[in-house]
A and B are shown apart, each in its own frame.
Chain A
Amino acid sequence: MALRVSGDAHEARERLEIELLLEAIQRAYGYDFRGYAVASLRRRLWHRVYGEGLETISGLQERILHEPACMDRLLRDLSINVTEMFRDPSFHRALRAHVFPLLRTYPFIRVWNAGCSTGEEIYSVAIALHEEGLLERTRIYATDIDEAALERARSGAFPLERMQFYTENYQRAGGKESFSRYYSTDGNVARFDPALAAGTVFAQHNLVTDGSFNEFQLIVCRNVLIYFGAELQEKVLGLFGASMTRLGVLALGRKESLRHSRHADEYEPIVEAEKIFRRRA
Chain B
Amino acid sequence: MTRLELVAVGASWGGLRAIETVLGYLPEDFGAAVVIAQHRQSGGQEGMLEHLLDARCALTVSEAEDKQRLAPGAVLVAPADYHLLVERGAVSLSVDAPLHFSRPSIDVLLGSAADAYGAGTTGVLLTGANADGAVGLAKIAARGGTAIVQNPETAERREMPEAALWATPEARVLELEQIGPALVELAASSAGSLP
A residues adjacent to B (C-beta < 8 A): 4, 6-8, 10-11, 14, 37-40, 42-43, 80, 82, 223, 225-227, 229-230, 233, 253-257, 259-260
- Asked if B97 and A255 make an inter-chain contact with CB atoms under 8 angstroms apart, the answer reads no
Whether the Cβ atoms of A226 and B115 lie closer than 8 Å is no
Q: In whole angstroms, what is the CA distance A80 to B94 when docked?
A: 9
Q: Hey, which chain A residues are within 8 Å of B145, CB to CB? A: 7
| Complex Cα spacing A233 to B68, Å | 13
Q: Output the residue of A4, A43, A229, A260 with the most chain B CB within 10 A.
A: A43
In this complex, which of B83, B94, B119 has the most chain A Cβ atoms within 10 angstroms of its Cβ? Answer: B94
Contact across chains for B144 and A6 when beta carbons are under 8 A apart: yes
Query: How distant is the Cα of A229 from the Cα of B68 in the complex, in angstroms?
Result: 12
Chain B contact residue count (CB 8 A cutoff) = 33
B97 near A82: Cβ-Cβ < 8 Å: yes
* B186–chain A nearest beta-carbon distance, Å: 16
For B118, what are the chain A residues with a Cβ–Cβ distance below 8 Å? 7-8, 10-11
Task: Assess whether B64 is interfacial by the CB under 8 Å rule.
Answer: yes
The answer, yes or no, to whether B82 is at the interface (CB within 8 Å) is yes
Main secondary structure of the interface of B (DSSP, over half): mixed
A82 touches B67 (CB 8 A): no
Known A37-B94, A233-B67, A255-B64; 4 more pairs at CB < 8 Å: A43-B111, A230-B67, A255-B79, A255-B93
| Residues of A contacting B92 in the complex (Cβ-Cβ under 8 angstroms) | 37, 39-40, 226-227
B94 touches A11 (CB 8 A): no
> Which residues 84-111 of B sit at the A interface, judged by CB distance below 8 A?
85-87, 90, 92-97, 108, 111
B contacts, CB < 8 Å to A:
2, 63-69, 79, 82-83, 85-87, 90, 92-97, 108, 111-112, 114-116, 118-119, 142-145
Q: Is the CB of A80 within 8 A of B119?
A: no
Are A39 and B86 CB-contacts (below 8 A) given A11-B118, A226-B93, A255-B79?
Answer: yes
Indicate if the CB atoms of B85 and A255 lie closer than 8 Å. no
User: Can you name 7 A-B residue pairings with CB atoms under 8 Å?
Assistant: A14-B115, A37-B85, A38-B87, A39-B112, A40-B83, A255-B66, A256-B65
If A37-B87, A226-B95 touch, whether A8 touches B119 (CB-CB below 8 Å) is yes
- Give which listed residue, B86, B90, B142, B144, contacts A230 with CB less than 8 A: B90
* B176 CB, min distance to chain A CBs, angstroms: 28
Are A82 and B65 neighbours in the complex by a CB distance under 8 Å? no
Which residues in A have their C-beta under 8 angstroms from that of B95? 80, 82, 223, 226
Interface pair A82/B96, CB less than 8 Å apart = yes
Residues from chain B with a CB closer than 8 A to the CB of A4 are: 142
Residue of B nearest to A9 (CB): B118
Measured CB to CB, the closest approach of chain B to A78, in angstroms, equals 11
Inter-chain contacts of B143 with A (CB < 8 A) = 7, 10-11
